[in-house]
Structure 1
Amino acid sequence: MTDVTFILRDGSREVVDIAEGMSVMQGAILNDVRGIDGECGGCLSCATCHVYVESLEAGELPPMGEDENGLLDGVAAERRPNSRLGCQLLAAPGLKGLVVRVPERQV
C-alpha cells in the first residue's frame, strides 16, 4: 500500500492508502476524494484527474508520456510544471510520501 495525501480545494488533507499497481485516480475515486472526477475511468482521454504534485518523499515520478503531456495542455485549471494526470501515477514503493493538490476545477 502507498499512502497518498490529497490537498483538497478547501485546503484540508485526505490521506488514502492505495494498493500497489492501482492509479492515484482510482484510489481517489474509490475513497470519494472530492475534486477527482476520472470521467474516462483512466483511459487517458479526459484529464479530469488532473493534480498538482506538491512533494514526493522518496523515489521519483514515472516519466510523462506524450499522450499525458498533450492532455495536460487542455486541462480546465491552470497547467503548471508540477501538473500530472492521476491515472498515469501508479502506486508503488517509489511514490512513498506523494502529496498532490486537487485543482480548483476539472471541467
Structure 2
Amino acid sequence: MPQVTFIDAHGESRTVEGEAGATVMEVAIRNGVPGIEAECGGACACATCHVYVDDAWAAKTGSPEPMEEDMLDFAFEVKPTSRLSCQIKLRDDLDGLIVRTPTRQG
C-alpha cells in the first residue's frame, strides 16, 4: 500500500497508508489528518483539501486539470505546487508521497 506523509504548517508530520486508486484526500479523511476538510466530499467543488505537493513529487503527481485550476483560485496561499488532494489518485509509484497542508485562514 502506498504511504503518504502529510506535514502541517507547524512542521509536524504524519505518515499514513492508503490503497492504490484512493485519492490523497480520501486517505487523509480516513486517517483524521488535520488541515484536510474536504467540505465537498471530493467533487472538486471547493478548495478545502488544498495541499502543497513536495517539489520532489510534483512531476509524478502531474499538473492540475482546468477544473482543478479554477477551484485553486479559491484556495488560500496558492503556490506553484498547489493541488487539490481530491484530484491526486494514489498509485504504487507514489509510495512515499509528501504533501504539506497550508496555514488556514481565520
- The aligned runs of 1:63-74 (5 Å cut-off) are 63-74=63-74
Q: Is the 8 A contact 1:37 1:106 kept in 2?
A: no
Match of 1:91, SS? coil
Between Structure 1 and Structure 2, the one with more helix by share is 2
CA distance, structure 1, for counterparts of residue 13 and residue 67 of structure 2:
29
What TM-score does the superposition give when structure 1 sets the normalisation length? 0.90
Structure 2 residues without counterparts, runs of 5 or longer? none
Q: 1:56 to 1:20 in 2, by over 3 A?
A: farther
Report the identity percentage: 44
What amino acid does structure 1 have at the position aligned with 2:104? R
Matched residue SS, 1:103: coil
Asked if structure 1 preserves the Cα contact closer than 8 Å seen for 2:60 and 2:94, the reply is yes
What is the letter of the counterpart of residue 34 of structure 2? R
TM score, norm. by length of structure 2: 0.91
CA distance in 1, matches of 2:29, 2:64: 22
CA RMSD of aligned residues (A): 1.7
Runs of 4+ residues over 6 Å off in structure 1: none
Name the residue aligned to 1:99.
98
**C-alpha distance in 2 between matches for 1:64 and 1:94:** 18
1:19 has 2:13 as partner: no
Instruction: Return the offset for 1:62.
Output: 3.4
